[in-house]
């Protein structure tokens, strides 16, 4: 069927009105605008009006575009190329490899197109299926090694019904363009398959069998793993004011979490922060493998200096790739920074379309889009019984740090963990600056529910005593209350805070988390007998410094147990201990 064509009739920044002059157009399909310098600007149909009017959102700069420019419609939706070679790459929201583009031009010129996956690399294909086998969409044809994983080569997911393998290649080296198998349907029609295929980014991949997130995803951050955990297949939002540490927190989770694959979607944050990711990650060594961290990382970069329409594409691009690697049987973590910028791009487009605005001029359907995005996370049980997952953590940058604004509220309704950052804590140089009293999680912790409840009760009690201290001073409260206050301050300083610049304290594994919690519980349960507040303060200062020194020691350090004994002895000097550690 002949493809549709059109002419540009209006240009409003990234929103372009087009008169459809030939053929039918569907909402969501990709179109190319041909400008006079011969470049083809990629766009997406976002509205089909009565008559011949079509609206496009253009993913590139629309400067010098004029009325009358030709438009070609492709008839296919915005898609991602899925296959071996994604891990370790950095692309924009349209899957253009940024490093390859940079080799061609110093500045990213509009209209430039590079193959999303390297078509020259030969992959060592090992067939798992054979001629005569019956397959369907999602069946595994074979595997190739990709970085540290065995990358499964699938029959494209969009194929429905049963097919018979007419021919499949022998083990050997092939590119992603080579035909590796030929399949035939029940009507006798044949189809050649390669190692790569396209998938619409806005269409969620169907689960084979969905399960409830129930297992904690260790992040290396003690406050998260103990108090506000994230689950494999779970979702979390991380709102906070400017400069409170959202990006630093996400970088730490990317480096130290137990996810197999990490996908970073830089959807609209400042270019400087994105450049930091591009520069730092290729140089980082994965502590779990001893190899480059990029070997299990994929980065989608669309900064605030790029066209707003591309922000939406980058979010969906990252999600589709995440779903693909979940199908591979891996645990995937998406870090989206920041979903507020994505929502602002939607607001700009909605305004240009003259839609009825919702609260703070965001589209009326903003909560629906946010919910659909987070709903693509989850735990999947694959046909072979393997349990894999896709977890999503999205940062939010609410104007003025106001958590009551629409994007934050819509996200809270769609996520299982709320990791709110506090300006007060960040100004006090406390890291991570997660609000101890306002944050929450519905997922299981690495410590028991009773232990989580104990910590939260201590924090609330400490907050109440701190308020009285501000009002009445130290003389206005009892020694018993002051001792409780010092215990909570110790809890915050040595357990909830971490030194991100210190190699050992910067990341805490589950085994060490348990040892540290038992020690902090031992100290809190100790019945301290000191009558002078200055002596109380001095006593806990000694314990705090000894605990911090312990935090900086490796588990296999010969002095590790000695330092633990030193802390216990410091506690025993002034106390009647309720329980032994």
pLDDT value of position 302? 79
Strand blocks (E) in 4-52: 5-12, 15-22, 29-34, 40-48
| Pair (399, 483) in one structural domain | no
Confidence of residue 200 (pLDDT cuts 50, 70, 90): very high
3-state secondary structure of 22: strand
Whether residue 114 is contained in a domain is answered as no
Q: Is the peptide bond preceding residue 432 cis, with omega within 30 degrees of 0?
A: yes
Whether residue 283 is contained in a domain is answered as yes
Question: Among 338-352, 479-493, 530-544, which stretch is predicted with the lowest mean pLDDT?
Answer: 338-352
Whether residue 115 is contained in a domain is answered as no
Residue 578 has pLDDT above 70, yes or no: no
DSSP state at residue 383:
T
| Pair (458, 430) in one structural domain | no
Confidence of residue 78 (pLDDT cuts 50, 70, 90): very high
pLDDT digits (tens, 9 = 90+) for 365-412: 999 999 999 999 999 999 999 999 999 999 998 887 788 999 999 999
pTM: 0.93
| Pair (478, 558) in one structural domain | yes
| Pair (28, 160) in one structural domain | no
Whether residue 203 is contained in a domain is answered as no
Structural domain boundaries enclosing 32? 5-77
| Number of independent structural domains in the chain | 4
Contacts with 405 (C-beta within 8 Å, 6 or more apart), sequence order: 359, 360, 398, 399
| Pair (330, 396) in one structural domain | yes
| Pair (164, 212) in one structural domain | no
Whether residue 581 is contained in a domain is answered as no
| Pair (299, 425) in one structural domain | yes
Between 92 and 498, residue with greater pLDDT: 498
Domain boundary among 171, 195, 219: 195
CATH number of the domain where residue 484 is located: 1.10.1140.10
51-56 average pLDDT score: 93
Whether residue 20 is contained in a domain is answered as yes
| Pair (361, 408) in one structural domain | yes
pLDDT digits (tens, 9 = 90+) for 516-527: 999 999 999 999
Cα(520)–Cα(489) distance, integer angstroms: 11
pLDDT-above-90 percentage for the chain:
74
pLDDT value of position 524? 96
| Nearest Cα to Cα of residue 154 among 373, 378, 333, 326 | 326
pLDDT digits (tens, 9 = 90+) for 432-474: 999 999 999 999 999 999 999 999 999 999 999 999 999 999 8
Whether residue 117 is contained in a domain is answered as no
3-state secondary structure of 191: strand
pLDDT value of position 150? 96
Cα(466)–Cα(485) distance, integer angstroms: 7
pLDDT value of position 304? 63
Question: Among 126-135, 327-336, 341-350, which stretch is predicted with the lowest mean pLDDT?
Answer: 341-350
Contacts with 103 (C-beta within 8 Å, 6 or more apart), sequence order: none
3-state secondary structure of 517: helix
| Pair (278, 363) in one structural domain | yes
CATH number of the domain where residue 223 is located: 3.40.50.300
164-193 average pLDDT score: 96
493 φψ region: left (φ > 0), alpha (ψ -120 to 50), beta (else):
alpha
pLDDT value of position 577? 43
pLDDT digits (tens, 9 = 90+) for 292-337: 889 999 999 876 667 777 788 889 999 999 999 999 999 999 999 8
pLDDT digits (tens, 9 = 90+) for 264-287: 998 876 666 666 677 777 777 787
| Pair (394, 508) in one structural domain | no
pLDDT value of position 269? 67
- Placement of tokens 């397959």 in the chain: 135
Whether residue 548 is contained in a domain is answered as yes
Residue 425 has pLDDT above 70, yes or no: yes
Confidence of residue 580 (pLDDT cuts 50, 70, 90): very low
| Pair (136, 178) in one structural domain | yes
CATH number of the domain where residue 31 is located: 2.40.10.170
| Pair (461, 488) in one structural domain | yes
Q: Are 265 and 257 in contact (CB under 8 A)?
A: no
């Amino acid at each position: 069927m002949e493809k549709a064509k059109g002419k540009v009739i209006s240009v409003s920044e990234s929103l372009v009105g087009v008169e459809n002059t030939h053929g039918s157009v569907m909402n969501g399909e990709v179109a190319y605008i041909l400008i006079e310098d011969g470049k083809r600007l990629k766009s997406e149909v976002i509205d089909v009006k009565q008559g011949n009017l079509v609206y496009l959102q253009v993913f590139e700069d629309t400067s010098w575009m004029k009325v009358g420019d030709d438009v070609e419609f492709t008839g296919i939706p915005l898609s991602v190329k899925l296959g071996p070679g994604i891990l370790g790459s950095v692309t924009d929201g349209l899957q253009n490899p940024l490093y390859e583009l940079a080799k061609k031009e110093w500045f990213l010129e509009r209209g430039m197109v590079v193959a999303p996956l390297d078509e020259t690399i030969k992959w060592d294909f090992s067939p798992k299926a054979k001629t005569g086998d019956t397959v369907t969409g999602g069946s595994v044809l074979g595997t190739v090694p990709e970085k540290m994983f065995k990358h499964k080569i699938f029959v494209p997911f969009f194929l429905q019904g049963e097919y018979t393998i007419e021919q499949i290649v022998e083990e050997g080296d092939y590119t992603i363009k080579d035909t590796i198998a030929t399949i035939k349907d029940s009507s006798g029609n044949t189809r050649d398959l390669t190692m790569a295929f396209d998938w619409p980014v806005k269409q969620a991949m169907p689960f084979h069998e969905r399960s409830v997130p129930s297992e904690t995803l260790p992040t290396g951050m003690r406050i998260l793993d103990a108090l506000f955990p994230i689950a494999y297949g779970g979702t979390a939002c991380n709102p906070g004011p400017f400069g409170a540490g959202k990006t630093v927190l996400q970088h730490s989770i990317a480096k130290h979490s137990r996810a197999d694959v990490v996908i970073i979607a830089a959807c609209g944050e400042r270019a400087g922060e994105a450049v930091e990711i591009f520069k730092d990650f290729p140089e980082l060594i994965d502590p779990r493998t001893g190899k480059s961290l990029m070997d299990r990382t994929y980065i989608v970069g669309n900064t605030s200096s790029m066209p707003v329409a591309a922000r939406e594409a980058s979010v969906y691009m990252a999600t589709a790739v995440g779903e693909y690697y979940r199908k591979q049987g891996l645990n995937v973590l998406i870090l989206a920074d920041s979903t507020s910028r994505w929502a602002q791009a939607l607001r700009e487009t909605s305004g240009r379309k003259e839609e009825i605005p919702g609260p703070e001029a965001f589209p009326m359907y903003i909560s629906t889009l946010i919910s659909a995005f987070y709903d693509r996370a989850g735990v999947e049980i694959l046909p072979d019984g393997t349990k894999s997952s896709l977890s999503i953590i999205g940062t939010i940058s609410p104007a003025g740090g106001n958590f009551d604004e629409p994007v934050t509220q819509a996200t809270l309704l769609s996520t299982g963990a709320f990791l709110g950052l506090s300006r007060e804590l960040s100004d006090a140089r406390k890291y991570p600056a997660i609000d101890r009293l306002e944050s929450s999680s519905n997922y299981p912790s690495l410590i028991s529910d009773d232990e989580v409840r104990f910590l939260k009760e201590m924090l609330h009690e400490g907050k109440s005593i701190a308020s009285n201290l501000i009002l009445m001073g130290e003389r206005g409260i009892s020694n018993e209350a002051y001792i409780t206050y010092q215990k909570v301050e110790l809890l915050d300083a040595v357990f909830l805070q971490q030194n991100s610049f210190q190699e050992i304290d910067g990341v805490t594994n589950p085994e060490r988390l348990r040892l540290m919690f038992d020690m902090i519980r031992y100290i809190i349960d100790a019945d301290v007998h000191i009558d002078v507040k200055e002596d109380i303060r001095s006593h806990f200062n000694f314990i705090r410094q000894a605990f911090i020194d312990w935090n900086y020691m490796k588990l296999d350090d010969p002095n590790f147990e000695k330092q633990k004994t030193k802390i216990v002895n410091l506690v025993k000097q002034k106390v009647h201990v309720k329980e032994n550690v």
